[in-house]
């Protein structure tokens, strides 16, 4: 989960509204996907909820918008307003039908005509500008939306009535299973990372495919037999393990700090990991982490890293527009050597 409001999401994918007001759309979650250009999400009801199915809203939001900082009475309205039409549908518990959502007279409405009926589960698929909702043999779409990066989101209204969320990485099952098994078993590894006394066995072929830095390292004279040691001193062992996990499985641990992961990813040119960590930073920016995370991103951006520069512009815009994210007011432009209103400051010419 990239970000959540008044909900819990357990390891089995059970999503539940646990706080907030009753019968108000003030609970929801933005779900994390490895590839914001191509993903699939399925919502279903667990056995204990079959007799009490609750309404929910499912859709996609552009990665440039990850919701309000402060609580609002209707989360779904905020997201529906910020995204293109046809991006959201609502499941009605009264008749088990699905309707597209839209904003009218300042509130969320359902289109009169249902796009699907007799629904027991609901699947959302997004692939490069094409969005489809489906349930078994029933389909709504494909709907054309601006071809950009999105993440799925779900909004809930009733407390303590769970739904099950399954996010598919849209990779072939055989490939996904192979990578999972390679990471889990660590058999026939041919190199080791050594970080603060901790040893992390790896497969050079997997890491070389993920990072040109590792590819150059292991293809330029480092061909001796046995297990090769690569000493990495500039991060914590848990951060390195999280990066290794991502290189194998394209998964970020839910409890990891994305800033040191982003730092490590830029140093070793792990572009996909840097993008995933950057998305998590944007989604979870708060007064507790804003300044520390901004420092790390700006350090790489100031060194000429284009990807870090792109993330810095998004962070800067969010910080400048929401000063409540920073404990120090007014906005401390001087911390980054900047001029107000200019993401790159005096150095960006």
Q: How far is CA 57 from CA 25, 30, 52, 90, 159, in A?
A: 9, 12, 16, 4, 14
Q: What percent of the chain has pLDDT over 90?
A: 30
Alpha carbon 130 to its chain's center? 19
Structure tokens at 331: 């906005």
Three-state DSSP state, 75: helix
For residue 55, the SS3 value is coil
Confidence at residue 120, expressed as pLDDT on a 0 to 100 scale: 81
Per-residue pLDDT tens for 111-159? 888 888 878 889 999 988 889 999 888 889 888 899 888 999 999 988 8
Higher-pLDDT residue of 44 and 220 is: 44
Residue 143: exposed, middle, or buried by beta-carbon count in 10 A (0-12, 13-18, 19+)?
Answer: middle
Tens digits of per-residue pLDDT, 22-69? 888 999 999 988 888 889 999 988 766 556 667 899 999 998 787 776
Give pLDDT, residue 71: 75
Tokens at 278, concatenated: 């950057």
- Would you state the structure tokens that stand for residue 251, as one six-digit string? 């998964």
Q: Which pTM value belongs to this model?
A: 0.64
- Alpha-carbon span 245 to 140, nearest angstrom: 36
pLDDT at 307: 87
The helix (H) or strand (E) run that includes residue 309 is: helix 306-321
Over residues 286-310, mean pLDDT = 89
Give 268's contacts (C-beta < 8 A, 6+ positions apart): 211, 213, 214, 243
pLDDT at position 223: 47
Q: Give yes or no for a contact between 330 and 323, defined as CB atoms under 8 angstroms apart.
A: yes
């Amino acid at each position: 989960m990239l970000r959540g409001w008044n909900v819990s999401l357990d390891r089995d994918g059970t999503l539940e509204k646990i706080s907030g007001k009753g019968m108000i759309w003030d609970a929801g979650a933005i779900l994390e996907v490895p590839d914001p250009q191509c993903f699939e999400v399925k919502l279903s009801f667990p056995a204990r909820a079959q007799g009490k199915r609750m309404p929910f809203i499912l859709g996609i939001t552009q990665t440039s918008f990850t919701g309000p900082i402060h609580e609002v009475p209707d989360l779904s309205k905020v997201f529906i307003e910020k995204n293109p039409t046809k991006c959201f549908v609502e499941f009605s518990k009264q008749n088990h039908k699905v309707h597209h959502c839209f904003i009218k007279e300042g509130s969320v409405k359902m289109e009169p005509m249902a796009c699907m009926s007799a629904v027991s589960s609901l699947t959302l698929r997004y692939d490069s500008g094409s969005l489809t909702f489906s349930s078994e043999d029933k389909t709504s779409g494909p709907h054309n939306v601006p071809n950009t990066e999105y993440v799925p989101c779900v909004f809930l209204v009733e407390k303590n009535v769970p739904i099950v969320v399954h996010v598919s990485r849209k990779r072939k099952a055989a490939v996904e299973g192979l990578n999972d098994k390679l990471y889990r078993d660590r058999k026939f590894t041919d190199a080791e990372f050594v970080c603060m006394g901790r040893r992390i066995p790896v497969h050079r072929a997997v890491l070389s495919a993920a990072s040109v830095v590792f590819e150059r390292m292991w293809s330029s004279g480092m061909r001796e037999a046995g297990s090769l040691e690569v000493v990495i001193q500039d991060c914590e062992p848990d951060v390195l393990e999280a990066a290794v996990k991502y290189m194998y499985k394209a998964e970020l641990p839910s409890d990891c700090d994305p800033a040191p992961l982003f730092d490590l990813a830029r140093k070793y040119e792990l572009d996909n990991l840097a993008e995933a960590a950057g998305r998590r930073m944007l989604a979870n920016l708060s007064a507790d982490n804003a300044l520390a995370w901004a420092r790390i991103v700006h350090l790489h951006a100031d060194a000429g890293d284009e990807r870090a520069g792109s993330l810095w512009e998004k962070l800067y815009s969010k910080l400048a527009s929401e000063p409540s994210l920073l404990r120090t007011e007014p906005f401390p432009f001087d911390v980054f050597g900047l001029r107000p209103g200019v993401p790159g400051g005096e150095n960006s010419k």
